Structure 1
């Protein structure tokens, strides 16, 4: 019994090591690119005219405008499904058509899940950000869309980990900053000033 669990843990370690060898460079590249984009945005976006928005509703509306950029990934995923259905028939009967349709539908499902998760994080973050930190919204949106397209482009290759890493960085940065802002000055101090005008 003990030998069996030792064998399983050894297999798990070997599996993790092989996955890290295969995907590690893409994860590091994703972390480097997303970190570089955030630093670049922090340095250069203040030169752009980011509006001073004092109400949380205005900041959320500003973040919603950037959702159109991420929405392009949704439109692309839908058009991929439409293209496969047009090429192989609405409900393909051959195995090749079914394979392509299933793959594009999985991409659409994954894109929808990523889009909704990131949008919720970005809107929550915008509701607690100070006006002078709104530059994070376009930076996170840019990281998300680059990650989404690189993930979809390399769906059958280990390079998809690069896109996945970018998406994860954008989403977890938004949620992490939201939670930090929410709890750093007290839960109620961040919730009470939320005014619709």
Structure 2
């Protein structure tokens, strides 16, 4: 990008570039130079807007976690309608089929990044913990509606669903699993508690 050309939303431009590098090349390839090269900007642009690269990555994670609110609202609004397993399969396919698997890998790969986010997340893995919370809240709504057994533990089920779904998506370099495959996994996990 030529000097002096304004970028409308520098943060989002850099975040989008980081996600492309992460999805295409993996967590090990995500460097400040890779991000700025992908974004078509000078390396100094990143450091002008963020204190350092881990600060940039922490803000990327926080931004993507904030975006989960839209997904959570849509999932929760649909409680009591459609198929529980189908709604969860669509939601988890959308989440893990995007950049979420790469972001989780990044969090596992970078100790300093996890340490920087520890104030916001004293336990658990950022992003995954938020997805668990979103799914548990949905299952609680379905339990209140009588579609999930009264003695079911929504948080335990959410952990099981997230862990299993993440493993289904993680490490695939070809195509992500189809929503039908995710639905089959979710249906088998939820079968004992669905009413």
Common fold, TM-score beyond 0.5?
A: no
Structure with larger RCO (C-alpha < 8 A, sep 6+)? 1
- Compute the TM-score of the two structures, normalised by the length of structure 1: 0.30
Question: Which of the pair is proportionally richer in helix?
Answer: 1
- Compute the TM-score of the two structures, normalised by the length of structure 2: 0.30
